[in-house]
Structure 1
Amino acid sequence: MKKSIWGLLVLSVLLFACESDDDTQAAVVPNAGMITGGPFTFIVDGNPDNVSGIQTDPDATGTNRSFVITDDQGVILGLPPTTADLENVDFDGAGAGVCLIWYLRFEDGLQGAEVGQNANDLQGDFDLSNSITVTRNAAPNAGTLSGGPFDFCVDGTPDMVSGITTDPAATGTNRTFVITDDQGVILGLPPDMAALEGVDFDGAGPGVCLIWYLRFEDDLVGAEPGMNANDLQGTFSLSNSITVTRNQPQAGMISGGPFEFIIDGNPDFVSGITLDGNATGSNSTWVITDDSLNILGLPPTLADVETVDFDGAGVGVCLIWYLRFEDGLQGAAVGENAADLEGCFSLSNSITVSRVSE
């Protein structure tokens, strides 16, 4: 009898130990813990982009494990089972957007852990870690810049551009306008449209400026006044350029005369008039006025001036001028007054032609 009681006691202890083990196993709760590393930012440019340095929590628990890659809405894009598999994922191939990397610990019977499903809908005994962000930026594309071209007259009056528009499809984390000379030397970097429209191009003197739009990432080097836009380095895109022409016509000095003719019925022509060689301006003409600046004639060349018969004008005083000007000049017509010219122009000094009676 004693032996039977002892056997039953041993059996009871063994059964209790087994039941205790079962209870302990059932009490295990998956815990993915915290994962560290990143965040990561890549440029979608056709070159492979892989993450590295991600660490899982050494205290994480759960029978099964996997990494989970989702989009920013939780849709599952991939389930790399190990860190090595995770580091082989090429995020460049996913195009522009945001991915999230999670660590998953779970027990058998998990449902919903499939590509195309949503991690928010997982069912079963599991735990998801915090997420690490992988931002995939589109390669910078400045697109097409519209507006202009602009022609200004350097005359002491402020000249600002307006009506320029950037491409709504332009991409790139950072942006700025770039103003260069016609050789690409950077003159200014207005950060936005308001700053660009506040630039006074009159102050730059005569010449040609180019306006560009720049989209770029944080690794850009060389975007500084005095540097050349052709030497920019990093991840960037420059748009087309818009030309700003700053005109400053200079008629210079004319020499010769003064002339004095007798009105006697014989033709009287001027000769020996010369230019100083420093004249500038897209267009040119000679202007003959009376002493009140009323325009009497507009001979286009010096040869034409030398064919004018001043005897036919009768007694009085004429003035000969040289005019350099840009398109759009108003008031340069016989019968108008040279004092009322409007536009971008320059009149030289005048040479006097006196016509006296016999």
Structure 2
Amino acid sequence: MKKHFILLMIFGGLSLLTISCDDDDDVTINTEAGTLSGGPFNFVIDGNPDMVDGITQSGEMRGSNSSFVITDDAGNILGLPPTMTDLEGVNFDDAGPGICLIWYIRYEDGLMGLEPGENANDLSGNYDLSNSITVNRDGLNGGMIDGGPFTFIIDGEADMVSGISLDDTEVNGPNTTWVITDDENNILGLPPTLADVEGVNFDGAGGGICLIWHMSFGTDLMGAEVGNNVSDLTGSYGLSNSIMVTRGTAGMLDGGPFNFDIDGSPDMVSGITVSDNFDLANTSYVITDDQGVILGLPPTMADLEGVNFDDAGTGVCLIWRITYSEGLTGLEAGENAANLQGTFSLSNSITVNRN
């Protein structure tokens, strides 16, 4: 291999071009891709077009062919815009969250591997890549919310949440709202602000579980409507973690009233049904006298139906169902149900007359 130095007259001056050739006079040009300046670029994937601009090129550039190269951060080739104009027409919002790298390449005929889906690290031939410019494509982020969980009893009195806070340091997106769903992610409400969330009366929702979320979303979001499911959302959005709101109710008892004769023969209730209940951590049936004094606490319906009311003598009993959270006090035989303290719900009562 022999190297030859050729003096070229360029714009009135001299330039020294180095080429290499072998004894058969085959010439290999030393390709140069120069330097890219501009960026880095930071975009939010929100359905709005995101294009780069202001990128400039400098330095020596040599090679018969050229192109811009867009890769991911692992070098996988995503696109090959041939000119700066084409590069500035690329919508990076379509690529989803992640990192792109923009390069410039100069190369000679015969280069292999320069195709989308290939990796730039596997290029083979005579080429040179410039430095890269980073394009950060950040996904939408609903942030982190703190507070709760909340446990309410459905008793006809208003139940509102309070003390919820939003860490907005990670919130990312042009639009935000709060979202209230059930435990199957069906959308129940879309209060726009935290003040609106704190104005929601969860007692009106009946028994069950609600989840409170914070959402950031783009202009292309569709499906964010009451009655839809979060899984129906399309477009750009990001949800925070959720806070649980449990709405407990002991439900409704149906059956009876029962009328027994105290005659030495066993008298048991049967056919009682429960509806519209949503249990908290604990449940039980409660038998009281007509003054509310607790006579017994059969834990299950089977236990309730095993109670022999003939043994209680004459009088009136009331059967209730209770659901409650840990920490309830006063739920003991001999105490009065009117003095219960804690989070609990009592159903309606069924009367048992013992004649």
TM-score strictly above 0.5: yes
The answer to whether the Cα contact below 8 Å between 1:279 and 1:324 also exists between their aligned partners in 2 is no
Query: Is the aligned partner of 1:139 residue 2:136?
Result: no
The structure 1 residue matched to 2:317, chosen from 316, 319, 325, is: 319
Structure 1 residues 226-305: aligned runs within 5 Å: 226-255=227-256, 257-262=258-263, 269-278=266-275, 280-282=277-279, 283-301=282-300, 304-305=303-304
Which has more helix, going by share of residues?
1
Residue by residue, what CA displacement relative to the aligned partner does 1:276-326 show, whole Å, maximum 9, x if unpaired?
A: 34373424433333332322222334554566566765x642414132323
Percent identical: 41
Letter in 2 for 1:223: A
Q: Give the strand-richer structure, 1 or 2.
A: 2
Distance 1:302 1:222 in 2: 43
Count, aligned residues:
244
Q: Is the 8 A contact 2:251 2:274 kept in 1?
A: no
> How far apart, in 1, do the equivalents of 2:289 and 2:43 lie?
74
**Counterpart of 1:275 in structure 2: which amino acid?**
I
Instruction: Structure 2: state its 5+ residue gaps.
Output: 1-40, 59-82, 99-134
Q: How much does 1:213 deviate?
A: 1.1
Equivalent AA in structure 1 for residue 158 of structure 2? P
User: How has the CA–CA distance of structure 1 residues 289 and 210 changed in structure 2, closer, same or farther, with 3 Å as cutoff?
Assistant: closer
For 2:177, the aligned partner's letter is T
Per-residue CA shift, 1:214-259, capped at 9, x if unaligned? 1122222222223322122222211222222222222412336312
Q: Deviations over 1:115-152 (max 9, x none)?
A: xxxxxxxxxxxxxxxxxxxx988431123333222222
Unaligned runs of 5+ in 1: 1-39, 53-68, 70-77, 97-134
Q: Distance in 2 between matches of 1:88 and 1:309?
A: 86
CA distance, structure 2, for counterparts of residue 278 and residue 347 of structure 1:
11
Secondary structure of 1:148's aligned partner: coil
The Cα RMSD (Å) is 3.8
Give the structure-1-normalised TM-score: 0.56
Matched ranges for 1:125-136 at <5 A: none
Deviation at 1:161, TM superposition (A): 1.4
How does the TM-score come out when normalised to structure 2? Answer: 0.57
Alpha-carbon distance in 1 for matches of 2:199, 2:288? 41
- 8 Å CA contact 1:256–1:351 kept in 2: the answer is yes
2:140 & 2:310 partners in 1: Cα distance?
A: 72
Contact 2:258 2:351 in 1 (8 A): no
Distance change in 2, residues 1:301/1:318 (3 Å):
farther
Q: Distance in 1 between matches of 2:285 and 2:182?
A: 33
Confirm or deny: 8 A CA contact 1:51 1:87 kept in the other structure: no
